[in-house]
Amino acid sequence: MSSDFKLDITTQNDSEEPLLSNTIASNLSLDGKSKSVLTTFNGIHEHGKLSPTNYATNAERRALYDSFHVDEEERNRLHVSTKKKSALISGTAYCISSCSMIMLNKIVLSSYDFNAGISLMFYQNFISTLVVVLLALCGRISVEKLNWKLVRVWLPVNVIFIAMLVSGMYSLKYINIAMVTILKNVTNILTAVGELYLFRKRQSSKVWTAMFVMIISAVSGGFTDLSFDAVGYAWQIMNCVLTASYSLTLRWVMDEAKKSTKSGSLNEVSMVLLNNLLSLPFAIIMIFLFGEWDYVIHADVVKLPAFWVVATASGLIGLSISFTSMWFLHQTSPTTYSLVGSLNKIPISIAGILVFKVPLSVSNLFSILFGLFAGILFARAKMS
């Protein structure tokens, strides 16, 4: 800006002075001597353009021009560096949140032997709803105003969302984290099949090869699992079906839901609020329907302050996954997000094996590693 301003001033001075002398010469009746003086003045002025002072001015212009471009390059370099740092921080936050959520749920359900998965889901969703509402009231986030038309459109996907959470809770109670992580790969297969039949979206041969490897790893993992539990595996298979159904249904519901809002759009935060808020009345009904209320009010574990600390932390981290995933996706791309999600299964599996001291055989360990490799292969295939 300063260089442009200086150039304007210099140009104006160069153009105005000759114009002044010429105007005087043409408009005033001057004798020959006076005209000679003006001619000499103009000659001196023209000669002054080549003077050392003018050379200094040109050098100063070049210096300002070069300085401007150096500053612009420095700003671009700084912007790229800041973008990389933001991507690294957001990706780290997403990975930590995802790992922590699974670990805390496993602690609550297994270590504390809490046998009320629906009640835990209700408490976590209540915490998430409360935080989102408070942030919206403080003006920190923007959410869409709810109306009955929007709620009616969103109910089908919300029912699947609740069933998905509950089945995930119970599978985690009976199966070790590493095997839950490997079996979740089946969700990708079901989603791909659903996209083929519902949306006519075809996958490449690399993707189908990766999914075939996923099936082999899941089957071999089940056969070699020393802590195999049929009930837990049934819950996990149900969870895979429900997760794929949720993903496929969400695509259709989102388009319909946008038509039911005043703004004509529906951001991710509003979807988080819808899912968590609408799940609360359903969860209350199921708590009484499945007799969890009697268990919760008489269980000794609910009298432990540490239990409530862990349960509350799991609710907060569950919400943080929503925000960190949106943050990370905004800083990078869907491809990077998918790849990091696949790579994130590795530390989760290792942590689950070490923290909960899961009994492993060599064949089972190989199946787990094979399944992790299949997840990475799937992400890479989707990238190509």
- Contact assessment for residue 183 and residue 367, using Cβ atoms and an 8 Å cutoff: no
- Percentage of residues in the chain with pLDDT exceeding 70? 75
Instruction: Annotate 15-25 with b (16+ C-beta within 10 A) or e (fewer).
Output: eeeeeeeeeee
Count of residues making up the chain: 384
- Contact assessment for residue 145 and residue 334, using Cβ atoms and an 8 Å cutoff: no
Q: Which residue has the higher pLDDT, 376 or 132?
A: 132
- What's the confidence (pLDDT) of residue 22? 47
Per-residue tokens: 5 = 């301003």
- Please list, in sequence order, all residues whose beta carbon lies within 8 angstroms of the beta carbon of residue 186, skipping any fewer than 6 positions away: 214, 215, 218, 237, 240
- Please list, in sequence order, all residues whose beta carbon lies within 8 angstroms of the beta carbon of residue 216, skipping any fewer than 6 positions away: 370, 374
Dihedral (CA of 345, 351, 357, 360) sign: positive
Per-residue tokens: 222 = 């089940």
Asked whether the predicted pLDDT for residue 133 surpasses 70, the reply is yes
Query: What does the alpha-carbon distance between residue 345 and residue 350 come to, in Å, rounded to a whole number?
Result: 9
Residue 281 sits at the vertex; the CA angle it makes with 278 and 282, to the nearest 5 degrees, is 85
User: Long-range contacts: 159-163, Cβ < 8 Å, 24+?
Assistant: 159/282, 160/242, 160/245, 160/246, 160/249, 161/246, 161/275, 161/279, 162/121, 162/279, 162/282, 162/283, 162/286, 163/242
- What's the confidence (pLDDT) of residue 308? 94
Nearest to residue 189, comparing CAs of 166, 171, 207, 201?
207
Per-residue tokens: 120 = 């835990």
Asked whether the predicted pLDDT for residue 283 surpasses 80, the reply is yes
Q: What is the mean pLDDT of residues 157-168?
A: 92
- Please list, in sequence order, all residues whose beta carbon lies within 8 angstroms of the beta carbon of residue 349, skipping any fewer than 6 positions away: 177, 178, 181, 182, 368, 372
- What's the confidence (pLDDT) of residue 81? 66
Separation of CA 165 from chain center: 20
Residue 248 sits at the vertex; the CA angle it makes with 245 and 370, to the nearest 5 degrees, is 70
- Contact assessment for residue 42 and residue 21, using Cβ atoms and an 8 Å cutoff: yes
Nearest to residue 252, comparing CAs of 331, 121, 157?
157
Taking only the tens place, the pLDDT of each residue in 30-83 is 444 444 444 444 444 444 444 455 545 666 666 655 555 555 666 666 666 676
- What's the confidence (pLDDT) of residue 278? 93
The per-residue DSSP string of 76-91 comes to HHHHHHHHHHHHHHHH
Q: Quick one: residue 333, left, alpha or beta (phi over 0 = left, psi -120 to 50 = alpha)?
A: beta
Taking only the tens place, the pLDDT of each residue in 288-308 is 998 999 999 999 999 999 999
Asked whether the predicted pLDDT for residue 221 surpasses 90, the reply is no
- Contact assessment for residue 367 and residue 182, using Cβ atoms and an 8 Å cutoff: yes
Per-residue tokens: 9 = 């001033």
- What's the confidence (pLDDT) of residue 306? 93
Tell me how far CA of residue 364 lies from CA of 173, 223, 334, in angstroms: 19, 8, 32
pLDDT category of residue 247 using cuts at 50, 70 and 90 = confident
Least confident of 125-129, 227-231, 269-273, 375-379: 375-379
Q: What is the mean pLDDT of residues 162-171?
A: 92
